[in-house]
Amino acid sequence: MAVESLNCKECGASYELGAAFFCESCFGPLEVRYDHSGLDPDEAKRKIQAGSQGIWRYADFLPFEGRPGDPLEPGLTPLVRADRLAERLGLGEVWIKNDAANPTHSFKDRVVAVAIAKAKELGYETVACASTGNLANAVAAHAAAAGLDSYVFVPSDLEEQKLLATGVYGTKLVGVRGTYDDVNRLCTELSQTRPWAFVNVNLRPYYAEGSKTLAYETIEQLGWKLPDRIVAPIASGSLFTKIGRGISEWIELGLVQGELPTFSGAQAAGCSPVATAFAEGTDVCRPQKPDTIAKSLAIGDPADGPYALELARRTGGEIAAVDDDEIRAAIRLLAETTGIFTETAGGVTVGVLAKLAESGAIGADERVVAYITGEGLKTLDAVREGHRMHEIEPRLDSFEAKLEPQATAR
């Protein structure tokens, strides 16, 4: 396998492949380095296409010494051409990467599968995480499948649907009275005193690599071609930047031809430190206290915010925000035009897509891929307002009196 070391993104210092997440010299974040110098692009493509029906088909580009096994292997989720959505927005070609079609119905299955496989490789028996909901579901489920103990720490005011869908797996679910940033600080402290693998703390360099598989699948599903623009949500900024890294890797290795797409990031206005920094022209993401229905994106102090800013600017993109009403409207727009029901994070992504289309920022001839990262059934309260049911008596005349005048009016 090609995995080589952990390297600091800031100073370049190199470390062994253990449970470490920050540089001892400059405190910069660590990421995985690979040596693909002997790779043959054509042979790599053949190996991928003959591989499993999930993310382990890309194992040569993931941080393992051997090929992992996983009873809940995520990945190869649908890439849906959304012509009716494109028509409504006045765009030419729009694709929706629906990552709600994973085992626990969010993209977090990807990063957790990678992190837990690495935890087992490193000899851990207990895994844990700090989460805004989707990660909690994924860690609890994948730990159960792997036979590992787990602890899941979440803000205590999380959506009930996500709490129920976490506790059912038998994890130790811990509600913390505070924001996600409070939860994350607690977990960072615990990672120094407990022999546990915190997937998004001390295993963060490996965990983050799972997001690259979204890039790989998009390229493969587009017939080994690149989109012109990516629209993706930003919470910590890791997903956004790792999609960029995955595409860059395959361009550099010759698996796909072309240039890095334009990257457009999406945040909720009630927690938009990266969008605010982009609008102000600064590289500093000043922490914000979250106040939004998009709780899965409610990270007020995003670890990878500066790198998300750099990627958007380098590719000629932008990072924009939408308010809660725009999020609700976008959830309905996506559902009505594609049949895909997204959680609030997807409402943020589609809302920003609509905003960019309306402003003329997206060209009519662009091929756009927007990433839906979670299932709408997890955030039902977001669509409760405006819900309507036509109630009638069990008689034909009751139906005709209530519904047929409306059909005639249309």
What's the pTM?
0.94
Confidence (pLDDT) at 407: 52
Report the chain's mean pLDDT, rounded to a whole number: 95
Is the pLDDT assigned to residue 410 strictly greater than 70? no
Q: Which long-range contacts (CB under 8 A, 24 or more apart) does 172-176 make?
A: 173/136, 173/140
In order of their start, the domains of the chain are 79-105+211-383 (3.40.50.1100), 108-210 (3.40.50.1100)
pLDDT at 363: 94
pLDDT average, residue stretch 352-356: 98
Angle (CA) 310-312-317 rounded to 5° is 150
What pLDDT sits at residue 333? 98
pLDDT at 406: 59
User: Is residue 293 classed as helix, strand or coil in its secondary structure?
Assistant: coil
Place of tokens 């990257």: 263
Residue 336 and residue 364 in contact, taking contact as beta carbons nearer than 8 Å: no
Neighbours of 59 (CB within 10 A): 20
Question: Encoding tokens for residue 128?
Answer: 């844990």
Question: What number is the average pLDDT over the span 80-90?
Answer: 98
User: Backbone phi, then psi, for 142, in 5-degree steps?
Assistant: -70, -35
| DSSP per position, 239-292 | HHHHHHHHHHHHHHHTSS-S-PPEEEEEEETTB-HHHHHHHHT-S--------S
Q: Give the separation between CA 97 and CA 70, rounded to whole angstroms.
A: 23
At 385 the pLDDT is: 84
Predicted confidence (pLDDT) per residue in 302-344, tens digit? 999 999 999 999 999 999 999 999 999 999 999 999 999 999 9
